Structure 1
Amino acid sequence: MSIINNALSGSLAAQVALNATSQNVANVMTPGYTRQGALLASIKPANSGLSAGNGVAVSALTRFADSYKSQQMWRAASGLGQYNVAQPYLTQLEQVMGDETSGLNSGLDAFFSALNAASVDPTSSPLRQQVITTGEALAQRFNSLNQVLSNQRASVQQQRTAAVGQINTLSMDVAALNKQIAAARATGVNASGLIDERDLKIDSLADLVGVQVVDQNDGTRSVSLRSGQPLVVGALAATLGVASLANGSQVMSLSFARESFKLPGSGLGGQLGGLEELERGVLVPTMQSVTDMAGQMATAFNTQLTAGYAMNGSPGTPLFIFDASSVTGMLRVDPSVVGQDLGFSSDASLPGDSANLKMLIAVQQAPLTLASLGTVSLGDAATQLVGKLGMVSQQNQTSLKTAQTVRSQSEDSWASTSGVNQDEEAMNLVQYQQMYKSNMKVIAVANELFDATLSMLG
């Protein structure tokens, strides 16, 4: 009977819908889960005549997914990863360079204060020795800062190498899931769980590097870098590589199939982009400025010292030893120099003269040419370095807060379409339960009519 067939199709459809709803409720706390629903369609009458139809069918299980919102979320992940990865480095460097006990500012002030104190009595051995002592402390501050910068650059390069390894792993995972999804769709199997897993992999990938994602007709997704180089095409994944150069920098390349691409040094996005901007835009220029500052100060001071005369009337001895190739010993005080060797006098016959000492004090205002600042005085160089770093750190913090807000909003937008709403699912449970019970009631009524008909015929 058509009544029974209609009711049976309704009860089966209700079961499928209830199963989808139960799956949604079970995964209400599952990260990245996209809710599903049964798409119902009325079955038209097969024959002409007075027939309302042949029941209902579940035409498909639909995923409540919005590709645009997913793309928004992945773009937000790239921005957040870019600013988030740089901030710990900037904060540490800002604290080190601005600290009173380890910063260059206080070291320079102490050194030139010792020179000023010596000008009161240029023949005083303790005051001369104090100049050497504060010079050693200043050199140590330069070396310590250079060590911090060098360690940060090494850490950045290690983190870049680790990120590249993660990108390669995630790319292979996405390619493998593409293959499984295409196969599932070809055989009519619900691939929603596989698609959710793939989306989570792409989201993790977007945190590491900016990506572009394109949906294909077979259900696969092609993933490429912002600059166009492919990461994943169908079931094929590219391989990123990192190579170190003789100058201490790194270059990245991408290999796909039989092609190899050299990656650009900027615009990568994600953590790779943040690390690249941090190294090239902050660490390398700051390291060069600190090196230039130490070298030019040492040259200017030593030159002026050798223009004067020591206590015994001999020419002044250079105080500083500069070695740009050394990280921990870039600037040192010559251990053989003693206070009596300092050329404070401008006249070999007048050991108490302080004319050359005044010229040494004036070195504090001597112009320096630094990579990241241009031409500045020695006394202002450290202050401007700290100020510039603080400005970069503040800008990054502001961008990070904005990126966090954008990411949060994109997640909320995605959840409004794809996330499980417990209240909505509770209503669905009641509605589909009622649908199932109603169809079972129809079957019961149909059975009663059938039995009554048989009784009449009997």
Structure 2
Amino acid sequence: MNLPSAFQIGRSALIAGQHSMTVAGNNMANAATPGYRRQRLGMVGISGPPYHGVGQIGNGVRTTGLTRAIDMALLARLRHSRADEAMLDASQRVLVGVEGSLASAGEKGLAGAVEDFLSQWSALAVSPSDPAMRGVIVEHGVGLAAQVRQLRARLLEQRSEVDRSLQDGVNRVNQLLAEIESLSDDIRAAESAGGSNPTLRDQRDRLVDELATLMGVTVVDRSDGTLDLLVGSTPIMLQGASMGVSLSITNSGAAFAVTLDGAPLAPGGSLGALVLRRADGVEQMISRLDAFALQLIDAVNRVHVEGQGLHGRTTLTSFLGVNDPTIPLSQNGLHAPVTAGTISFKVW
């Protein structure tokens, strides 16, 4: 080995050491930076010329580039766990809101109001012509109807709040996809000549982490620096190009769906929870309340129609109309089915 070769070995060691100190200092400076991944400097030995009787002696060291200290399999598990956590949190918020709406339905709740209303009918049966008792039952009926309407209004407001959260979530998803696409282009350009850009990859990972909590995504890293992102088996980003998602409304607002090119997605994360809890939480409770109100109205009317007023009437006007008086009642769109039978009138 000649003297210049010895100097070259020392020089390469100093340069590699300087780069190592720079990387170590950068790691220390960013120890508290959110989303920062610790960086490592790769090094390999430099081959030297062969020496007769000795063999090939190395010619120093050179750096090969930066890598991030990250376990991709562990990161994928972490993202799925965060998506599950976000899904449970969103579900809890919606269900707590529904529970709060039901709890606000008076001191005794809706069941207590119905019980009070029915008990007044039992009292009225003892003195059916007592004006005071008749007034009390009317008052309880008006109060029960108002309570049902107020409860339904609160549930509708709860549904509107979920709808707003869904739309905000979809807007944020599309914003994140656009930012991830832009960063993927920058990473591909920066790494096209070799090496890596850990800073840009850290920035992109933070966006993907947020996206995972919203939708629950599977990430596929490509060799050119871009990403594929999948919801279930459906890609929402291919080779760094965003496919975009949207929110569709079906059944006159009764059902929502997150879609891609018109096809429904099955997202996880907070968006998945909002879609599910909107259907089997808020919307189901509204439907059950509507069915209860209809059954209560029908039950009261069936009992009421069998009696007669204190004074005879010469005319009666129904508040339920028909679509066409010239066609059979069974075809007139009445809420209760009409069947063949008999009707009796008492004249006095």
Q: Indicate whether the TM-score tops 0.5.
A: yes
What is the TM-score normalised by the length of structure 1? 0.64
| Residue 19 of structure 1: aligned partner | 22
1:26 CA drift (Å): 0.8
SS at match of 1:230: strand
In 2, the alpha carbon distance for the partners of 1:348 and 1:69 equals 84
Tell me if the contact between 1:232 and 1:238 (Cα under 8 Å) persists in the aligned partners: yes
1:193 CA drift (Å): 0.7
Deviation readout 1:155-195 (Å, 9 max, x if unpaired): 22222121111111111111111111111111235410111
AA aligned to 2:29 is A
In 2, the alpha carbon distance for the partners of 1:187 and 1:42 equals 22
Tell me if the contact between 1:170 and 1:205 (Cα under 8 Å) persists in the aligned partners: yes
Percent same amino acid among aligned pairs?
25
CA separation of 1:70 and 1:233: change in aligned 2, threshold 3 A: same
In 2, the alpha carbon distance for the partners of 1:95 and 1:348 equals 52
**Structure 1 residue 76 and structure 2 residue 81: aligned?**
yes
2:9 to 6, 15, 21: 6
Tell me if the contact between 1:179 and 1:234 (Cα under 8 Å) persists in the aligned partners: no
AA aligned to 2:263 is K
In 2, the alpha carbon distance for the partners of 1:296 and 1:236 equals 53
**Structure 1 residue 150 and structure 2 residue 156: aligned?**
yes
In 1, the alpha carbon distance for the partners of 2:26 and 2:228 equals 29
1:241 to 237, 246, 251: 246
1:313 CA drift (Å): 5.7
Gap regions ≥5 residues in structure 2: 321-345
| Residue 263 of structure 1: aligned partner | 264
1:319 CA drift (Å): 12
AA aligned to 2:25 is S
| Residue 96 of structure 2: aligned partner | 91
Query: Whose relative contact order is higher, 1 or 2, with alpha carbons under 8 Å and at least 6 apart?
Result: 1
In 2, the alpha carbon distance for the partners of 1:156 and 1:250 equals 10
Gap regions ≥5 residues in structure 1: 255-259, 322-346, 350-458
Map 1:42-441 → 2, pairs under 5 A: 42-49=45-52, 50=54, 52-99=57-104, 101=106, 103-188=109-194, 190-226=196-232, 228-245=233-250, 247-248=252-253, 249-254=255-260, 260-264=261-265, 267-312=266-311
AA aligned to 2:93 is P
CA separation of 1:201 and 1:273: change in aligned 2, threshold 3 A: same
1:299 CA drift (Å): 1.2
**Structure 1 residue 30 and structure 2 residue 33: aligned?**
yes
CA separation of 1:120 and 1:348: change in aligned 2, threshold 3 A: farther
AA aligned to 2:282 is L
CA separation of 1:101 and 1:320: change in aligned 2, threshold 3 A: farther
In 2, the alpha carbon distance for the partners of 1:8 and 1:14 equals 10
* C-alpha RMSD of matched pairs (Å): 2.7
1:106 CA drift (Å): 1.7
In 1, the alpha carbon distance for the partners of 2:273 and 2:284 equals 16
1:297 CA drift (Å): 0.8
CA separation of 1:113 and 1:348: change in aligned 2, threshold 3 A: farther
Aligned length: 316
SS at match of 1:158: helix
| Residue 257 of structure 1: aligned partner | none
In 1, the alpha carbon distance for the partners of 2:318 and 2:137 equals 10
1:125 CA drift (Å): 2.1
Tell me if the contact between 1:182 and 1:218 (Cα under 8 Å) persists in the aligned partners: yes
